[in-house]
Every structure is written in structure tokens, then in C-alpha cells.
Structure 1
Amino acid sequence: MFESTFADASRRDWADDGTDATVRIATVGCGNYARSVSLPAMERGEYAAPTVVVSGDADKRATLADEFGVTALDYDEYEAGAATDEYDAVYVATPNRLHLPHVETAASHGKHVICEKPLEATVDRAERLVAACDDAGVRLMTAYRMQTDPVVRRLREFVAAGGIGDVQRAVGDFTFPVLGGDAGPDQWRLDGRLAGGGALYDVGVYPLNTARFLAGDDPVAVSATTRSPDPAFEEVDQHVDFGVEFDGWVGNFSASFSGHPNTSLELLGSDGRVAVRSAFQPGADREVTVETPTGTLDLTGAGADETVEEFDYFAHAVATDAGVDPDGADGLVDMRTLAAAQESAASGRRVEL
């Protein structure tokens, strides 16, 4: 089974080689991630192309217009419908609580949407966001880039085919020192209203969603604890540990906004395990280990840049009128799970979904 599943770890299982259409994308919100990761990924892609950027910062607009050769708008111009003939879809990368109005604007212009995760700062607002796209008849993709990583997709195939037997448990961590480097406490990730949550919402969603994707399952209950010993994290969780119950198996996940950087995920089954190091960093070389009774497979440097894959997957789906997965419903499952984790941490009780 190793050979058949992992023979071509970088294979695009969604691509139609006969399609050469390019989908033009407007990027709404030009923070560091959008500027340094997302826009370059679109530019390197086969089906996606950045053509418009939207920012409230005039200097950013001028710099990005020059660097990427795009039209630059402020938020008022975007809402008013300026340059709608220059883009086919919208990538929303603003702080969580601002996703809803920017997605509503895109939907009102009849544009398809790829929205960063988590979908919003609260479940209610996320539901309204999904409804806005449904009502307008536009596609909505939740930007779970790990689901488009070819290596992760091969692991999902392997697990689905019974490669590790029945899934028993998942263990995952994402530690991101949010105050590292030049970053200070004056940032939206530490603003409870804008972010909705701290490490749980920003990085805890990665091991949760990726484990769900690999196992093809949804949570049924959550138990969680949070800690914020540093006063800088007064409004959000600095550390979180959350146990997630599924139908027949459990997940134990952690996320932190301080500490040595780490990203890892492991699925243990009745007959084997899969483990991924460097699991969630953009463009990282995944270190994958697959163990079964018949042997062990180690993969390093396999796959592709999953951010390029993410935007090309979305653009290809738009261009070919194909379905999008992960969609808004997938994003809502995680929103409800994250909210339940917050409720559990506050109450000290297990919360059913």
C-alpha cells in the first residue's frame, strides 16, 4: 500500500490538465501573512493571479501595487464596487471579526470567496458569513491550506484505505511565539474582540482541522483548559489544551502563543500510525513517518508548497465550476468546536456538540 499511495507524493488529484483558465483574485487585508506568503503564492500559481489588493494603509497600497503590478484600493472603494471588473474572486485576510463584512461585500459583488480561518470571531457571525455566500450563489472556501497539501492528501487516502487500521487517537500541537521578533503586544491577535480567541483560534485550529481531515470525522464533545499567565494575553488564551471526542476515537490538541516554535501531528490506529513534523508552517518540508506491521516509510522533502496549492485548488474549482472542499460548512464545524472549547475552559465541564 505504501508504493501505490506515496509513489507520487506531489500529485494533484484535483487538477484537470485541460484547463488553462486564470482566476483573478482580490486580496482584502494586507497584513504580513498576506504580503509575504499569500500574494507570492498566488503569483507563483498556475490558475490564480493577484490583480487587486485592498488595504487601509496608503503606503502598503503603493508598495504592493508596485511589487505585484496590481490595482490598489482602500476599503471604501472596495465596498463601493471599484475595479470589480478586474477580479473574479476575493481572498479575505483581515482580522477575524472583520471577515463578515468583507465577505458580505464580495458576495454582494457576485464574487467567489476564499476566507482565512477561523471563519469569524463568533459562531453567529460565521453562520451569517456562510449564509451571505449561499444567498448570493457564490462559492466559499475556508482557507485550510493543509487540506490541499499533496502529502496530507496522500495521508488521508492511506488512512481512508485502512492503512493504519481503525483510528484510535490523534495528538497535535502548534506553538507560535506571537510576540517573537519585532512583534509587540499591540496587535489584533491579542485583542479579544477582533480575534475571538487567542492561541486556540489562531493556531489550535490547525491540528484540529487537519486531524478531522485525515480521519474524515467530526467532533461530538470537547473538554478544554486555558492559561494566560503573561499580562499581555489578558484578553485571549496564551496556552490551551483541548480534548476532542469523535465517534470511536479521541484527539488531544494543544496550542500556545509563547514557547519554542513547534508544529506536529500524529494519528494512531489499531494497526499503525502516521506522524508529521514541521506539520503546519507555510511551505515547510514535511517530515512524514508511516508505520505499519509490514514496515516503516519515512518521507522528507516530499509534496509541494501548500499555499500555492491552496490558491490554485480554489481558482481551478472556480474556473471549472467544480465544488469546493473545504467549504463554509467545514469552517462552521471548527467554529462550533472552538466555541465549545472556550465554554468548557470557562465552566470546567465537558461540552457536547
Structure 2
Amino acid sequence: MTDDPLPSLDGFTRRDWQSGETTGTIRVAMVGLGWWTREQAIPAVAASDFCETTAVVSGSAEKVRSATDLADSIAHGLTYEEFHDGVAADAYDAVYVVTPNGAHLPYVETAADLGKAVLCEKPLEASVERAERLVEACGDADVPLMVAYRMQTEPAVRRAREVVESGAIGEPVVVHGHMSQRLLDEVVPDPDQWRLDPGLSGGATVMDIGLYPLNTARFVLDADPVRVRARAVVESEPFDAVGDEHVSFGVDFDDGTLAACTASQSAVQSSFLRVTGTEGEVTLDPAFYNRQNRGFRLSVGSQSVDYDFDRVDQMTEEFDYFAHCLLTGTDPHPDGDHALVDMRAMDAIYAAAERGSDVEVESA
């Protein structure tokens, strides 16, 4: 047990990924005009330093007609067909794909064919096979692909990762992670939605919110899953088709760390991530929801300190990081290969829940 002073935040900046001066603007076309795009993504880009929304794409003619009212910079409202035909392609440099999971592939393929950089929402797709095709399309076209794990540009999470890497808590041993929300009561109060359609979502809970503790643990540990075990429970009829309303899953990482994660679409909104090591632990609580006060507690021996950060819009941080990479010729991360690891891990989690036994995570 150590009595050494706890680490200082001196020298840490909110945007540690930004070196030097970044100049220019990335013009973004947003594909999919659901509530997340309208209420989160478009305002986030409007507040950003390095990008602007110049086109929006939707299957709804009504949404397309009113699209230019969402931001002053939007000059083009396109139907899906017009997007695939390359209409107004000169008006944007990059594409943000935020359709239902199972519809990501065709829009990413079109963006790649048009030579546009891609920011694709997580998870990559509704199945491993389609996710692999998506990554291949960007690779064949040699266009940048970043996957929208916004926790990886959240300053508190990035600093927590640095603290773990520094050895402040000794060797990581276990991770506990949780995320829950009341999907049908507070988020999207409609049982006829894509998250409850297995063909469009790939699963309701693991794919939607269980992914947060899984991927954030990977990021903080800098480790990958090799084996999982899981249990899924359905108590409400709308979740019958997808098979997961409440889930718990365990993960064995390749560095020897163990994780225990839970997620629910029918519980009070809550999120946390705790990494416990041989000498101490780091706790982020709250951890995963956007626009919340953020920080973490570091406990080592008899000492404990809370590190607080200014509240940020995680979406603005994510878009500016993506744009910064494009403007500076830097490869963005997390990329498609990183996201494929999650896809294979989640596939194994569903298989483990069905079989009631451990399942190895398929390697690339």
C-alpha cells in the first residue's frame, strides 16, 4: 500500500489530441434524421470549431423539406436515393452515418464510392458479417473510417486512461461497468421502433448500451476481450423478438483483467465504470451519458481524491477530433478494425447467453 502523493492534473489539457494549430473546416453530410441527429449531432456540430453540417439525408420527404431549418449552414436536404446518386456530393467532405445499425452498410458503401471520409455510429452494423463488409468498403476506397465511440474523446475518460497507464492503481485486476435507461418510458416511448427489431438492431441492450462499458473498459485498459460469459433476461413483451432487456456479462481481457458488466433498457438511468487494481482504483460515476458533470475518483491506499472536469458536449468533442484528423492528415481512432473487435465480442456475448457457457471471442 502506497503513501505517495496522488497524481496531479497539471499538464493535462481538455483536447490532448490537438497539437499545434488546426485550420480549415470539414463539411459534413448527416445520413439519418432521427431524434439523435436533430437534438444531439446537429447542435454539437454547430458548436464545433472545425466542422459544419452542410447536407442532411433522410427517407422522410417531410424531414428533408424542413432540413435547412436545423442549422444555418445546411444548404441541401437529400433523399436517400439522391444521396446514393451523388446529388450535391461537392457540398460535403465527410459523412456521418446515424441510421439504424442494420442500415449502416449501404450508406457507408456509397460514401466510400464518393471518396468521402466516414464517421459511422456504433455499433458498426447489426451483424459481424455486414460490419466486416463495411470496413472492407472503406479500405478498398482508401477513405478514413472512424467509429463514433464518443467516450474515447471524453476528457475525463482519457485522463482516467492515463492514470491507469501510469501505474497509479498498480496492475488492473477487475473492471465493473454498468449502463441503464428506461427506453420505452423515457427515451423512445414506442414499442414499434428499430431497437426492438433484431434485423435492424442486432439486439436491444448489448448492442445499444452494453457496448459502452465493454468498449470503455477496452479503451481505459488498452486491452481486448478474448472470452465472455453472459445471461440475458426478458420481462416485457416488446423485447421478446430481440431477446435482451436486462443483461449481465463477464469478459476476460488479453492482459488478464476480468470485467463484470450489466446493462438494462428497463431500469433507472445510471452509469458507472470502476477499474480496481493491485494498489487502488479509479471510479467514473456518472460515466456514459452526454452532457453530465464528469470526473473520477482515484483511491490509493488511505488516500482518495476527486478529479473534476468542465462539462463538455461529448458529441462536439467527437466531431472536432474527427475533423482535426482529416484536416491534419492524421488517421482517426477508433477505426473500423477496433470496432470489429467489439462486434465479435458482442456476438460472443449473445452466443454465451444462449448456450449458458463461456464463448471464445473470434479473432480477426
SS, match of residue 342 in structure 1? helix
Contact 2:156 2:295 in 1 (8 A): no
**Structure 2 match to 1:241:** 248
**Are positions 1:205 and 2:211 aligned together?**
yes
CA distance in 2, matches of 1:63, 1:10: 39
CA distance in 2, matches of 1:263, 1:63: 35
**Are positions 1:151 and 2:156 aligned together?**
yes
* Residue type at the aligned position of 1:154: R
**Structure 2 match to 1:194:** 200
CA distance in 1, matches of 2:66, 2:10: 42
CA deviations over 1:66-112 (Å, ceiling 9, x no partner): 12131110100000001111100000000000001110010000000
**Structure 1 match to 2:56:** 53
**Structure 2 match to 1:112:** 117
Contact 2:292 2:311 in 1 (8 A): no
By how many angstroms is 1:301 displaced? 4.5
* Residue type at the aligned position of 2:338: D
**Are positions 1:11 and 2:17 aligned together?**
no
Aligned equivalent of 1:82, options 87, 95, 112: 87
Query: 316-325 vs 300-309, which deviates more?
Result: 300-309
**Are positions 1:215 and 2:221 aligned together?**
yes
**Structure 1 match to 2:358:** 350
By how many angstroms is 1:300 displaced? 3.5
Contact 2:291 2:311 in 1 (8 A): no
CA deviations over 1:327-350 (Å, ceiling 9, x no partner): 101100100000000011111110
Contact 2:155 2:309 in 1 (8 A): no
By how many angstroms is 1:3 displaced? 4.7
By how many angstroms is 1:288 displaced? 1.5
**Structure 1 match to 2:36:** 33
CA distance in 2, matches of 1:303, 1:10: 14
By how many angstroms is 1:13 displaced? 1.2
By how many angstroms is 1:299 displaced? 2.7
By how many angstroms is 1:163 displaced? 1.3
Mark the runs of 5 or more structure 1 residues left unpaired by the alignment: none
CA distance in 2, matches of 1:2, 1:24: 43
Contact 2:42 2:70 in 1 (8 A): no
SS, match of residue 266 in structure 2? coil
* Residue type at the aligned position of 2:299: E
Contact 1:344 1:351 in 2 (8 A): yes
Count of matched residue positions in the alignment of Structure 1 and Structure 2: 352
Specify whether residues 184 and 85 from structure 1 end up closer, same or farther in structure 2 by C-alpha distance, changes over 3 A only: same
Contact 1:27 1:52 in 2 (8 A): yes
Contact 1:96 1:195 in 2 (8 A): yes
Aligned equivalent of 1:171, options 172, 176, 179: 176
By how many angstroms is 1:10 displaced? 4.8
TM-score normalized by structure 2? 0.94
**Are positions 1:330 and 2:333 aligned together?**
no
Aligned equivalent of 1:309, options 317, 323, 330: 317
SS, match of residue 220 in structure 1? strand
Specify whether residues 195 and 207 from structure 1 end up closer, same or farther in structure 2 by C-alpha distance, changes over 3 A only: same
CA distance in 2, matches of 1:48, 1:269: 39
**Structure 1 match to 2:236:** 230
TM-score normalized by structure 1? 0.97
SS, match of residue 180 in structure 1? helix
**Are positions 1:274 and 2:264 aligned together?**
no
**Are positions 1:20 and 2:20 aligned together?**
no
Contact 1:9 1:150 in 2 (8 A): no
* Residue type at the aligned position of 1:53: V
By how many angstroms is 1:64 displaced? 2.8
CA deviations over 1:45-83 (Å, ceiling 9, x no partner): 011211110011122223331121311101000000011
CA distance in 1, matches of 2:12, 2:65: 39
By how many angstroms is 1:286 displaced? 1.5
CA distance in 2, matches of 1:80, 1:36: 27
* Residue type at the aligned position of 1:17: G
**Structure 2 match to 1:256:** 264
SS, match of residue 165 in structure 1? coil
CA deviations over 1:276-330 (Å, ceiling 9, x no partner): 1121111211141111137211133435322111000001001111011111011
CA deviations over 1:225-277 (Å, ceiling 9, x no partner): 10111111011111110000013110001111101111111110111111111
SS, match of residue 40 in structure 1? helix
CA distance in 1, matches of 2:70, 2:207: 31
CA distance in 2, matches of 1:306, 1:166: 29
SS, match of residue 261 in structure 1? strand
SS, match of residue 268 in structure 1? strand
By how many angstroms is 1:9 displaced? 5.5
CA distance in 1, matches of 2:13, 2:58: 34
Specify whether residues 156 and 303 from structure 1 end up closer, same or farther in structure 2 by C-alpha distance, changes over 3 A only: farther
Contact 1:151 1:303 in 2 (8 A): no
* Residue type at the aligned position of 2:312: A
RMSD: 1.4
CA distance in 2, matches of 1:40, 1:223: 39
